[in-house]
Amino acid sequence: MNTTEIGRLGESAVCSWLKAHGYHIVRNNFCIRGGEIDIIAQNEEYLAFVEVKTRRKNSMISGLEAVTKKKQIRLIRTAAVWWGQNPCELQPRFDVACVTIQGHQVLSIDYLENAFDVTGCGVIF
């Protein structure tokens, strides 16, 4: 399985997880030059911009560690573009989903709500 297939497997699993937890998937893979948001989902209270990190079992670096400050800033700027095109009354939130796989099987999903915020990025929603 190549990295694109691994990523898609993780994103699909997280979409299912979100739906099971009362979210509606608004958009998958929103891309602009310089950034991408894996999943945009909403519930009654929040609009969640979700970064999915899929790792093989026993990976050296966790998915959460892979979401560096630089990556966070790219995600926030990309979310600001989406928000500008799709104004919304919901509270924005940045979540990270860490998916662990073995072969083609999802072993676990660790979902961290409000993993980071816009503090210090110069972006206002």
One pLDDT digit (tens) per residue for the chain, 125 residues: 888 899 999 999 999 999 999 999 999 999 999 999 999 999 999 999 999 999 998 888 888 889 999 999 999 999 999 999 999 999 999 999 999 999 999 999 999 999 999 987 777 77
* pLDDT score recorded for residue 25: 98
Architecture in CATH for domain 3-116: 3-Layer(aba) Sandwich (3.40)
* pLDDT score recorded for residue 65: 87
Cα–Cα distance between 78 and 3 in angstroms, integer?
22
Sheet bearing 105-116, strands edge to edge: 24-32, 35-42, 46-56, 91-102, 105-116
* pLDDT score recorded for residue 92: 95
* pLDDT score recorded for residue 70: 93
* pLDDT score recorded for residue 83: 95
* pLDDT score recorded for residue 14: 98
What pTM, to 2 d.p., does this model score? 0.94
Structure tokens at 42: 């909403």
The answer for residues whose C-beta is within 8 angstroms of residue 117's C-beta and 6 or more apart is: 94
* pLDDT score recorded for residue 37: 98
